[in-house]
Structure 1
């Protein structure tokens, strides 16, 4: 029987008391036997620290102090866990949640399939009251198109940060997050991951993204500005006009159509499950 790998989860947070406890509970209630859970609070003043203290004995580490933004907090969180930082890594924003059974599913897959270096689940959304909306994508993601930056949210959709997990060796290989990015750091990270490893899509909902008014990802113009900065000039010319095309078309089937065309061109569809 394969031994379950250690999974390190870092939660960056700042003034998210309304949702923080649900996020913490979603990780701790996994009852995963090899969990390292680190909470990096940016000096919250809204009662978040009291919530974190309540769960402190169940956390590997937590701190509440000013930071230079989300990327900085995540990087410091993983550095805090070193040298035994865990075999598998992810971060979970303090308003998102892991879904039941996620960590056991992820741990078993990585233990059984050593050739898998990063994976992602099916997309799920949650409103401010906690109501879930599950969707399922039966198309894979293409390594070459991830590298080119085509999964930027429109056209081919996002690669969801919540519910994406990777081996520590891959994180170290690409050098982790770019601390200069505050909105599109995951987009940039996926591009660099894809230069070394194929993304596997698991046919299970692993985590849910919470839509709520104060989210910084609602500042879409800043996201696309950073995404453009993260792309090499030659790639930027190809990727961003695709976004404009589908924004103009407003065509919900566009991701499926383009994925089909891309598969015929590139001949490399990611497995739908492990």
Structure 2
């Protein structure tokens, strides 16, 4: 089973090398590694060239943002399974892809969902973000599994479509809603912690960001003809707090 890992980056010189080395250090060897750079202005391309022997395919050209770059990577992919590793993240361990491959070989599924570990810049663990109790129905109240923990069969993108570019930070939510809730793909919780993810990012900080993703969650659900309560989505921080306290 070939597994494609896609890293998209832009001016990622500070973090990209450790991401590339994390892929290169995996015990599983049938990995296709694709790096999509948005024509960085720093030394990102120098890092890519330094480690070109560890990368199957790479491109560097202007794009229309994060999701356009992801789509470019998926278009280049030839693996059976596709996963995303962000340019400031690493795999949680050297056996992650070996575990993912074994899980997909054992289970006849379209996708697996797992966990991620969030950490500070100094390496201190903030939390394990788990998908253990997630189900597609929870998309209706604003919850999705951690995007980097999901591994999809590549054919899903060909059959069901790619990330939509009319979202700012919610195209992953829309795609997950379309795949899991509208199209009802087969999936299973893997229990695998896939990714060590730096705290922060495009959709994880500030009131304005919260308001934006709230609007985009509702847009994603509406686009896919899913009934939902706008109030429950706006109040999702309450359900998140309750869930934390129960644990």
Q: Give your verdict on TM over 0.5.
A: yes
Alignment partner of 2:231 out of 241, 252, 257: 241
- Pairwise CA RMSD of aligned residues? 2.4
How do 1:193-232 and structure 2 match up within 5 A?
A: 193-194=179-180, 195-212=183-200, 215-217=201-203, 218=205, 219-232=209-222
Is the CA contact 2:144–2:176 (under 8 Å) kept in the aligned structure 1?
no
What are structure 2's unaligned runs of at least 5 residues? none
- Aligned to 2:92, which of 99, 117, 123? 99
Q: Contact 1:143/1:199 (CA < 8 Å) preserved in 2?
A: no
Counterpart in the other structure of 2:124: 131
**Cα separation, partners in 2 of 1:71 and 1:246, compared to 1, 3 Å:** closer
Contact 1:119 1:164 in 2 (8 A): yes
Counterpart in the other structure of 1:86: 79
Q: Which TM-score applies when normalising by structure 2?
A: 0.86
| Deviation of the 1:20 alpha carbon | 1.2
Residue 171 (structure 1) aligns with: 157
User: After superposition, what is the alpha-carbon deviation per residue over 1:121-177, rounded to whole angstroms, capped at 9, x for unaligned?
Assistant: 12310212333344264843223444xx33x3xxxx441011210111223221121
Deviation by residue 1:208-240 (Cα, 9 ceiling, x = unmatched)? 22114xx322333332222222221774641x3
The residue aligned with 1:252 is 241
Structure 1 residue runs without a partner (length 5+):
258-274
> Which residue does the alignment assign to 1:108?
102
- 8 A contact 2:19–2:89 mirrored in 1: yes
SS of equivalent to 1:77: helix
1:184 and 1:113 map into 2 onto residues whose CA distance is 29
Aligned partners of 1:121 and 1:203 also within 8 Å: yes
